Amino acid sequence: NGLTPMLVLVDGVEVGRYLDTSQPVFSRDQRHTAWLAEDSGGPLTLIRDGAVARTFPAPVTTIDRPVSEPIRRSTLGSDMAVQYQVHFLSDGRLLALVRDAAGWTVDRDGAALASYASNTASRRTVDGAPGLGPFAAASAIHPESLIIADAAPVAVWWERQSGTAAQWRISRDGAAADGVVCLSAWTAQPPAISSDGNHIG
């Protein structure tokens, strides 16, 4: 495709090169690294300590079960960095936002916490209008909103339930954090979460 490879460096040492990657992250004890990577024509892979830990098959989309396509790398920068995420939780498990057979999935060490038809960072719009397009009322996740607690294996993020464009809420580990439903998600910054994961702002 003519693009130069994306290199992952840890302390100045190359540990992998791919078509595109997410941002690498460190474990709490600083002993481990992880990131997501894609090569041309290959599956999405979770890399841990430089080796493939898991692969994620792409969804089979149909008219009745559409899943938004990811933005594929077309520039010198990373497109995966804004669509995917990886975090080491406080107990050492890995939490990742991936695109797998179920759609855009929040995965915790192989267990799906939630899956969505659309990732708002990758959705296609009509004339640039976010309220239009095939995924305007589909289930969705705001990838930039996904955050984790410092001292507990808890994650929160903005999600939209399918059926209406104005039905956003905060999810905690895949379930509604409370009874509040909003007309739109707050996208200027991620939610706030207490270090023990029990309180959300």
Report pLDDT digits (tens) over 188-199: 999 999 999 999
| Residue at token pair 């009745």 | 64
Half-sphere exposure of 27 (CA within 13 A, CB side): 12
Contact by Cβ (8 Å): 58, 99: yes
Contact by Cβ (8 Å): 3, 18: no
H helices present in the chain, as ranges:
80-83
Report pLDDT digits (tens) over 85-135: 999 999 999 999 999 999 999 999 999 999 999 999 975 543 344 455 678
pTM, 2 dp: 0.90
pLDDT value for 199: 97
- Give the mean model confidence (pLDDT) for residues 174-183: 94
